[in-house]
Structure 1
């Protein structure tokens, strides 16, 4: 008989894989922070002895949820600018507030609050994009929370860096620091096509190829973004990223609310992953992601809350519910995104997108 650290014995267990399976009276065996076995509860006593045993006979257990796109420290900006479109929200409220208030202490406090909130709704991993990613990473690691910290890149100066080269230099230094950190990894995070010019995006692509890092970017979030791209680059953002050779399995495109059918085909062809943030898109009136079309084309999709300032919460349970309802309305098909598939997006979809 093996001695293990912990055994959890719920009434119901939903493993996600295989699909549409709900196991009754099965237990999870955990040792050294790893799940090592799942087996019928009545078989436990002959196989394992646990240091701690928790009986959950009125509970259903699911895998930890993955918030595939958020800005954790913005939990401190919740409710700051409601009922605004994205560019008004950014230019007149969020960016001025960030310029005045965001510093290392702001990030630490905001991330601590965000992690507490995410844990309350079952999130055990999140993919972040924000300033001072080093503070975010250290805070998540200190609290024992799995996370991906975005090495943010912008053309304009902030409290974190003065230009795109400095953003990348600081990001690479943090990447080196995280090489031996178990819970926190890094992703390159160019903010969006309308805030990052071609030269930094080319460097991002080169670094992604060399270091095998994910590229986390807001993409086709609003009609304004597409208009900006057509005016300044003569093409839509996805076409521009394609020319820069950024479309590929390492790319995690967030929002994708304004897509032509041929763009969906192109994204599928290159094997990108998408992140759907339904509540944020609705709050900012950014548009509707054609989720059913993405899934039909075989595109991997995760779910994200976005930041609390544009949601106004970090509740992945609510995000799953909203995604399922919205998918049915947008596709005019009541069979779109059933519950088991919504859970798959909130777990495996995010995990695959983050590598």
Structure 2
């Protein structure tokens, strides 16, 4: 529309100039330089401004209609933003005027149109939602599909959901939380789980200590912390783990001091190394059961992982969602000495009644990748 209007105006200008030239008996009253560098650009700029003004007017009109419908829905529905956790493949159906805000993870419009109020644009089917951008379902409504393993969406108005076929990492996180084995990061939305964030070595160590039932012992430890790069909140964890020989950190730095690598992201292989240690396997000594570089393959051989899980860990991102998944299912893995499963060790070492932990697990209906 903008190009068409500009083109027509330019054509009119040229015709007018030609007429002036002809009327003067062939002697132009306006120089070609003035036409090309001043007059025509000025007219085109005015034309573009008019087109943009008209487009903005149309957008504001449509936006006002949606805002009005949005307010009407809120009067009879949910008047405040409510953040909800979703899994891959979940579909949200939004009638016109209902609002959505992506807080974490990924999601895209699957049908209909969503107005990105923050950017002032329209999102059609296939377009991805932008984090922290407020969207309103346009006339006729639309659907939004979660495209990441997990996502947090804040919703307003009325909506319905259809469950997808993705792994329900959220349910596993809920279960571990109820068992006292998983805590959030303090993030103000999505229960603070931050399942969409890459885990650090500190996260891996803390989860390891919880799974072997020694978090309480770590928190009451008086051992010295030899590492210079650990924040105050995890001081007791790393001090205890070093004293027990569970970690040696990443070695000394150029300054000769010992570093743990607190903010370094942990890999799937490194976390599975923690899990195998929790089960009683060793990666040190003269006859190690595995090495950190072969942890995933060895875990499959030992029945701790399935082949499908190994493939998924090798090919996808390793996030807190995967930490939750591995930790939950490791609880059912057999200990190396044959004395039971990891859940038995967790309960015995932490002093928690195993039946209480088992009751939580019995209420979870999440299948493993196979």
Question: Do they superpose with TM above 0.5?
Answer: no
Q: Which has the higher contact order (CA 8 A, sep 6+)?
A: 1
TM-score by length of 1: 0.23
TM-score by length of 2: 0.22
Which of these two proteins has the greater Rg computed from alpha carbons?
Answer: 2
